[in-house]
Structure 1
């Protein structure tokens, strides 16, 4: 956001699932926290002398408001009440969880419980994969509008696990680079070990596992259904199942080359090895495809390829196309529509007992 003075640069950075302001010495000698604790700091503005800052702050349970604090001696004071009087239904609580994956990787994630969850109850679990792959799930308000309405699913009796697998931002350079030339392998193990962890702690029902993700999360959704039959149903949002055709059609043409480390014509096998389309014969999971008609980042044809292949194989599928939509829904009616479409898809493919339970929670 600013130079604090000639000696320090102030920056806003993800630190695991949190986000805070830090001061980095200009000479590289050290770093100190300006803000700290759980939650997410954002939209930082500093006084001319950088002695005070205004910022937004939110947690999984509380929406953002504006705070002020000195930059030397963090003492946040709330100065707005933006959401006063806004009705808020009962919410499912969210907590930070962690587990050991393969190759010694320690993985964090955020687990949102169903509304009214009782200890020891096993419930359907949705694995939600973030985009990027350099994205990160942070401790932001879980009732905020988004393509995936977390509390909407929690109100219907679902738990939601949002892991930060290798390749995510906020865990250092080595972790960020750990999926280089390895899409679909180590990161997939991180995700599935997280699912196993939520089963082991007695929350997830192993027979009622669901999967959804957008962009790279959509890639991982397409990949997962070619690698495992553990999910009852899946929903791929703006996914990229074919890394070769993605490279030649996306508006960020160097993106996959950077991750694969080589041009596809120099090593077709490498791109094919990491593309769900080249493993399509393995899919048995009912898989929904969602895409924006005007998506240039992950072109519409990526979703079309996967949908056509699934349909030709006789796998239960449907494709939902949002008109005028780029790489993610923007129009409010479309944002509101996505989660309802996914919920309907999931309930259709869950066993009748699960459908009855979820219907009763509405």
Structure 2
């Protein structure tokens, strides 16, 4: 902005904000904050207008402009308006769960034609990372499920970003520990509502969310269907095959396998997969370097040996981002499969 002040965009509590920092005093001033997720940053020569890509739970992906003089944000595109008028997005509600010293932020998505007199299946959606977050952005998978008769709950358990360094570091050397219990507490709170059918629960996650999905089905049989994407299933084998785990793994897991073998065993879903009984769909890109295809292969074999109903879908040439950046036919195939899997195992509103 000038020699002493810098404009920047940052995420806080699952949402985007614009901030200004004084490089001399280190004082930070919030210019704008709201229930959306944005990226990029382009400023006009006068420094009045700030342009960003914009995503919200109501609008999908658009372009927004923030006016520093008026303090107003407006959307200057409407690419998705006609579609969303014809096919309304999910309704939503934010809520909180208190565990120990931490407040866990969560969201519940409702079908557009939600009827509280009916009973609905519930799907828990788990983000990747673990140092990532969910929030106020439009997500095609969650929207697909919610607009087809499912309640969808998602949360930011300890380890998530956008809540400060200390909260994000809680997951180090505790994969499958308090993060898992945070998520179960979120589900338990939603189950107190009369329109949620506790006998028809599903779980879905990708990457670290895939790790947590694989972990969950080895810890409990409360979920009647699971969709597991690109999981970290066996942490010891992942340490030597992933493109980052020889560094990332030591940071998250406390050291290499030979130095932390008991920890690796205690926190790997592979250790508990023989107990799994939840019907599970595994999806994985064959060219995934982050969570290599071998992780999905190991999980598939373990669930077959456990007598669990399981299907394994492999996307040729698919990277770790295949469900978001891969060929359109792969993305369409995945969305069709996840909807069909939950429909066939959980049913619809009753």
TM-score normalised by the chain length of structure 2:
0.93
SS in 2 for 1:108: strand
- Measured in 2, the distance between the counterparts of 1:111 and 1:271 equals 33
Establish whether residue 95 from structure 1 lines up as the match of residue 93 from structure 2: yes
Establish whether residue 13 from structure 1 lines up as the match of residue 10 from structure 2: yes
Cα contact 2:14–2:134 (8 A) shared by 1: yes
- Partner residue of 2:30 out of 10, 29, 33: 33
- Distance change (3 Å), C-alpha of 1:121 and 1:28: farther
Where do 1:200-211 residues align within 5 Å? Answer: 200-211=192-203
Tell me the residue number matched to 1:151: 143
SS in 1 for 2:249: helix
Tell me the residue number matched to 1:340: 336
- Distance change (3 Å), C-alpha of 1:272 and 1:22: same
Tell me the residue number matched to 1:188: 180
Offset at residue 80 of structure 1 (A): 2.9
Offset at residue 348 of structure 1 (A): 2.9
Establish whether residue 246 from structure 1 lines up as the match of residue 242 from structure 2: no
- Measured in 2, the distance between the counterparts of 1:32 and 1:131 equals 30
- Measured in 2, the distance between the counterparts of 1:82 and 1:347 equals 30
Tell me the residue number matched to 2:113: 116
Offset at residue 217 of structure 1 (A): 0.2
- Measured in 1, the distance between the counterparts of 2:25 and 2:262 equals 42
Offset at residue 113 of structure 1 (A): 0.6
- Distance change (3 Å), C-alpha of 1:77 and 1:232: closer
SS in 2 for 1:80: coil
- Distance change (3 Å), C-alpha of 1:32 and 1:266: same
Cα contact 2:97–2:103 (8 A) shared by 1: yes
Tell me the residue number matched to 2:293: 300
Tell me the residue number matched to 1:320: 313
Offset at residue 85 of structure 1 (A): 4.1
Cα contact 1:61–1:94 (8 A) shared by 2: no
- Measured in 1, the distance between the counterparts of 2:72 and 2:306 equals 60
> Which structure 1 segments of 5+ residues have no match?
none
SS in 2 for 1:189: helix
Offset at residue 28 of structure 1 (A): 5.0
Offset at residue 312 of structure 1 (A): 1.4
- Distance change (3 Å), C-alpha of 1:28 and 1:167: farther
Question: How large is the RMSD of aligned CA atoms in angstroms?
Answer: 1.9
Tell me the residue number matched to 1:76: 73
Establish whether residue 237 from structure 1 lines up as the match of residue 235 from structure 2: no
Q: Number of aligned residue pairs: give it.
A: 345
Offset at residue 219 of structure 1 (A): 0.2
Tell me the residue number matched to 1:138: 135
- Measured in 2, the distance between the counterparts of 1:120 and 1:11 equals 46
- Measured in 2, the distance between the counterparts of 1:39 and 1:247 equals 35
Tell me the residue number matched to 2:64: 67
SS in 2 for 1:119: coil
- Distance change (3 Å), C-alpha of 1:67 and 1:339: closer
TM-score normalised by the chain length of structure 1:
0.90
- Measured in 1, the distance between the counterparts of 2:118 and 2:34 equals 30
Offset at residue 284 of structure 1 (A): 1.6
Using the TM superposition, name which of 279-288 and 166-175 deviates more.
279-288
- Measured in 2, the distance between the counterparts of 1:28 and 1:218 equals 43
Establish whether residue 175 from structure 1 lines up as the match of residue 167 from structure 2: yes
- Deviations 1:127-177 (CA, angstroms, capped at 9, x unpaired): 0000001111121124xx4xxx22221232101111111111100111110
